[in-house]
Amino acid sequence: MNGLVDYKLLGYDSVEEYLEDFRRTLLKTAHGYDFFVDWKKVEENAKRYLIELGLLNSLTLAKNNVERKRLLKRILQDHPKILNVIPTLLAIREQSIEVAEITKQVIIKRYDFRARSLSEEQLDDMVSFCEKTGLIDLFGKIKDVYTYVFGVEVGLDTNARKNRAGEIFNKLMEHLIDRVVEKFRKENIPLTYKREVELGKIGISYPGQKTVDFLILHENKPLAACEVNIYHGTGSKPNEIVRSYIRLHTLLKNNGIPFFWFTDGPGWIKMWNQFREGVNNIDYIMNYTISERRLEKILLNIIKSKTIL
């Protein structure tokens, strides 16, 4: 039941006109001012071990590395929770890591940073880890451990930017859906929408627990299911992503529910072949600009086609 994108209902005379306009109107970015750093999250993470960071700060006052190692061993012995902080000092989130020691042969050593009492041997091993990874030297070069960790958290937060870009575009689309739905309601057309709806809850079986980003309802019955994403760079496994949406579109269509794929971003320019595959198989693919112009009319057309009005 796959078919070509419904370019006529989207407002075009041909699929090529649709493709040209889709490409031309792709958002160059959806990055808001809150995209760059989540300062609240950074501050919360940095303050999570404020007492432990204060204890580690004493290492910055030691005269040399010999004194720092001796002091660190004592701190680890008296305050086992210090272990939790060590990965953050190295800008990693894992609480257990493996390291390859290469001599005449490769020895894999595992270090566990979960808070617990350590034996004498384990204490020496952990101090040795801090020395070999450069942390002992670090304490001789910085004046305040909290300030250092705050900077580390800012760096770690940049890893979340990809997800944050998707969240921002998701909010942008929700504002648009909300606006359109509100307009229908003012015209006494009972439209609503829900976020994050499992297909199983509307009686559709899908491998695993598939959740759609938005479900638009008319008189509390599913009218359209929506997925939202944006690509600033090339996406991970774009072929699989497109084909998964084609499968989802087919499943929903077989159950009488249209599928809307809201997608945007300059990354599609480099993934144009994959996008064309979606266009050849999914009825409604809209970027933000096209959605803003046509979403209301498409929903009205679907309502009329179901002879609900």
> Contact, 140 vs 68, CB < 8 A?
yes
Q: Compare 198 and 102 and report the one with higher pLDDT.
A: 198
In the predicted model, what is the mean pLDDT of residues 209-218?
94
Q: Is the same domain home to 171 and 281?
A: yes
Domain that holds residue 57: 39-159
**Residues in CB range of 238: below 8 A, 6 or more apart:** 271, 274
- In tens, the pLDDT along 2-29 reads 568 899 999 999 999 999 999 999 998 7
Q: Is the same domain home to 165 and 132?
A: no
- In tens, the pLDDT along 25-59 reads 999 876 777 778 889 999 999 999 999 999 999 99
Q: Is the same domain home to 132 and 177?
A: no
Give the residue from 113, 140, 159 where a domain finishes: 159
Considering the domain boundaries, does residue 7 fall inside one?
no
Considering the domain boundaries, does residue 3 fall inside one?
no
Judged against a pLDDT cut of 50, whether residue 308 lies above it is answered with no
Q: What angle (nearest 5°) sits at the alpha carbon of residue 103, between those of residues 99 and 105?
A: 85
Give the residue from 128, 159, 190 where a domain finishes: 159
Q: Is the same domain home to 200 and 292?
A: yes
CA pair distance 81, 110, nearest whole angstrom: 18
Which token pair is 116?
A: 């617990």
Q: What angle (nearest 5°) sits at the alpha carbon of residue 303, between those of residues 300 and 304?
A: 85
Q: Compare 105 and 282 and report the one with higher pLDDT.
A: 282
DSSP-derived secondary structure for 266-279:
THHHHTHHHHHHHH
Give the residue from 133, 159, 185 where a domain finishes: 159
Task: Tell whether pTM > 0.75.
Answer: no
Considering the domain boundaries, does residue 274 fall inside one?
yes
Comparing CA positions, the residue from 222, 188, 230, 192 lying closest to residue 204 is: 222
Considering the domain boundaries, does residue 4 fall inside one?
no
pLDDT at position 105: 77
- pLDDT-based confidence at 103, cuts 50/70/90? confident
Number of domains in the chain: 2
Q: Is the same domain home to 176 and 145?
A: no
Q: Is the same domain home to 173 and 298?
A: yes
Which token pair is 65?
A: 């590395």
- Strands 191-198 and 106-112, by their bridges, are unpaired
- In tens, the pLDDT along 236-294 reads 677 788 999 999 999 999 999 999 999 999 999 999 999 999 999 999 999 999 999 99
Q: What is the mean pLDDT of the chain?
A: 91
- pLDDT-based confidence at 191, cuts 50/70/90? very high
Q: Is the same domain home to 166 and 31?
A: yes
Considering the domain boundaries, does residue 2 fall inside one?
no
